[in-house]
Amino acid sequence: MSEMNPLTRTTENGSSKELDLQALKDAAYRTGNLQLAAQIAQLCDEHAALKNEISELRKALEDLNDSLLIEIARDRQRITALERPVFGPNARARIDELHGLMRKHRLQQITFSEAAKLLDITRQRANQLKPLIEDDDRFVLVKDPHHDQRILIRLNTQQNLTKSNRKI
């Protein structure tokens, strides 16, 4: 059973209503019970102080949650930056070479395995170039319609292709 607040009472219709402590204090003065009136006045002060403290704690909790969310977002950015591979000049040269070879051999699209053969590197090394190929506007990565897991490297025919227009 939930603990009942001593400053609330239940009305006839079942709803709870906060007692008017000032009215109780005035009634205690009128009846001549000064000790009760003093206790009620003390309760009023304590009640107001507790309400104030609760609102301050709620505000502090909101501020803490906001700063925690900001800290989490910054941590995610740091982690993402650490997870991004750093490509050297050889990798960028390979991407340039791939573009040139595809144009030279008039290949519109190739698989990563075919790209590895063109570049004379392993398939795994070609797959490691995927983020670099994705960021290069000369290429578009698309899913192979005939194979569920295969991704094709396609030459970009549109010069103004943005990342939002990419197929993958």
DSSP letters along 15-35, please? -EEE--HHHHHHHHHHTT-HH
Rounded Cα gap, residues 94 and 122, in angstroms: 13
Distance CA 138, CA 157 (A): 8
Examine residue 3 and state whether it is found in any structural domain, yes or no.
no
- Residue 48 domain-assigned (yes or no): yes
The reply to whether 122 falls in a domain is yes
Q: What percent of the chain has pLDDT over 90?
A: 50
- Pick from 48, 83, 118: which residue ends a domain? 83
Q: Which domain holds residue 40?
A: 8-83
The whole-number pLDDT of residue 40 equals: 82
Model pTM above 0.85? no
CB 166 within 8 A of CB 158: no
Residue 51 lies in a domain: yes
CATH number of the domain residue 131 falls in: 1.10.10.10
Q: What is the pLDDT of residues 96-148, one digit of tens each?
A: 999 999 999 999 999 999 999 999 999 999 999 999 999 899 999 999 999 98
69 with 101, same domain? Answer: no
Q: Are residues 150 and 96 in the same domain?
A: yes
Q: Which band of pLDDT confidence, cut at 50, 70 and 90, is reported for residue 150?
A: very high
Residues 98 and 66 in one domain: no
**Has residue 7 got a pLDDT over 90?**
no
Give the number of domains in the chain.
2
Task: Mark residue 126 as left, alpha or beta (left: phi above 0; alpha: psi -120 to 50; beta: remaining).
Answer: alpha
Which of the listed residues 83, 100, 120 is the one where a domain comes to its end?
83
pLDDT at 12: 62
| Tokens read off for 151 | 């991704």
Instruction: Answer yes or no: is 71 within a domain.
Output: yes
Q: What is the pLDDT of residue 130?
A: 92
Per-residue pLDDT, 10: 56
Give the residue with greater pLDDT, 128 vs 167: 128
Res 163: pLDDT = 43
